[in-house]
Amino acid sequence: MKVLVVDDEPSVRRLLQRYLGDNGYEVAIAGDGAEGWEAARDGSPDLILSDVAMPGMDGYELVRTVRRNPATAAIPVILLSAHRGSDDMVEGYRSGADDYVAKPVDMEVLRLKIDALIRRAQPEASAAAPALGRLTCVTSAKGGAGVTTIAANLAVLLGRRGGQTVCAVDLDVTHGDLQVLLDLRPRAGLGEAARDLSGGVETVTWDDYLVRHEGGPWLLAAPPTPLEASALSEAGVSQVLAGLRSSQDHLVVDVPPSYGELALTVYEGAERVVVVVSPEITALRRTRELLGALESLGVTEDRVLLVLNTLFEKTVLDRGRVEAFLRRPVNVVVPFGGRGFLEAVNSGRPVVTSQRGRAVDALTELAGLL
């Protein structure tokens, strides 16, 4: 069990550190509120024990900051203060502290309080955080790479696996083609879900916004017209994604080329980012930039799956040259699909449901990596 002690007084820090350490706790130390907040955020302690009066960010402000942040909101906090006045206590509880202990501290009582709060927080914390579905994002650095085609086929393949719900999400809000590729006619979609969620509807029924593909994956479709798409806010869409993610086992999200806030949030939160690249020099150059951007966002290389999609019948840039240029391995090569791919689009039957061959094998191999 890890306790974070935040106090500007070195003697108090030493005392608490020794006592708690002797009683089997791992103890982290911070000398003021700001340092305390960093340690809380990065060190995920099981409990925070903080002084109230400190220079800069005081104890009340620290608790408010901890409570505001979803990652730290559930951590129990005990405030320690030299003031015994009821006003100080009220302010302490108001800020969101779980307990308020006056100095001088009775160490044995403090230890019992710490034990009780940690015990109470454990089951609550796991019940409060709903299990999140897997998020696979399919994207490219340049339009026309085959992102929507690959996302539609992956959703169908993953939807065939038993025991999990799969939902494709069309974030190409102005040109949402997923519904065409899957031959679906949604009555509602992303636009309605964002409107209802931001309008304060408490509990949304996700089925109202989704349409199902032949007993397999669901689809959250893009708005039907570009004008309706322009009314969407990125914050609204993020809210929809977060909500949907807690109700589905796996989301497959079609993210068109963008470095906007929304795209970056999706990349950061995704278990896997499938980057599709076609064998052409401008696409390769932009892909190198995208891979760099993902790296600086903290999306580690093992979370990125690079797919070389052979859009042309004949190409000079084969797998080896693409790998040399991008300085990383290509995970899957999708061969040129020609007429078959065109038929699939026109009939609304993704290739994995209607055809056989090397392209279908490659898409199946890719789904196996997710």
Ligand X SMILES: Nc1ncnc2c1ncn2[C@@H]1O[C@H](COP(=O)(O)OP(=O)(O)O)[C@@H](O)[C@H]1O
**Interaction site with Mg ion (CB under 5 A):** 147-148, 172
CA distances from 232 to 171, 190, 191, 207, 310 (A): 11, 9, 7, 20, 34
Q: Which does 311 bind (CB under 5 to 8 A by kind): ligand X, Mg ion, none?
A: ligand X
CA-CA distance, 282 to 326, in Å (whole number)? 12
Rounded least distance, CB 100 to ligand X, Å:
56
Q: Give the C-alpha separation, 321 to 310, whole Å.
A: 13
**Looking at beta carbons only, is 148 or 179 nearer to Mg ion?**
148
Is the four-CA dihedral 160, 165, 166, 170 of positive or negative sign? positive
CB of 315 to ligand X, least distance (A): 11
Find the helix packing angle between 319-326 and 281-296, rounded to 10°: 40
d(CA 33, CA 100): 17
Partner from Mg ion, ligand X, none contacting 50, C-beta within 5 to 8 A by type: none
The least distance separating ligand X from the CB of residue 170, rounded to whole angstroms, comes to 10
Nearer to Mg ion, 80 or 366 (CB): 366
Cβ distance 58 to 65 under 8 Å? Answer: no
Determine the residue type at 129: A
Q: Applying CB under 6 A, which residues contact ligand X?
A: 140, 143-149, 177, 309-311, 334, 336-338, 341-342, 345, 359
DSSP annotation of 73: T
- Tell me the residue number closest to Mg ion, measured at CB: 148
144 binds, among Mg ion, ligand X, none (CB under 5 to 8 A by kind): ligand X
Give the one entry of ligand X, Mg ion, none that residue 146 binds, where binding means its C-beta sits below a cut-off of 5 to 8 angstroms depending on kind: ligand X
Tell me whether residue 143 or residue 292 sits nearer to ligand X (CB atom): 143
The residue (of 36 and 350) whose beta carbon lies closer to ligand X is: 350
Contact 253, 221 (CB under 8 A): no
Which partner in Mg ion, ligand X, none is near 309 (CB below 5 to 8 A by kind)? ligand X
Which of Mg ion, ligand X, none does residue 136 bind (CB under 5 to 8 Å by kind)? none
Helices 33-43 and 59-68: crossing angle in degrees, nearest 10, is 30
Q: How far is the CB of 254 from Mg ion (least distance, A)?
A: 6
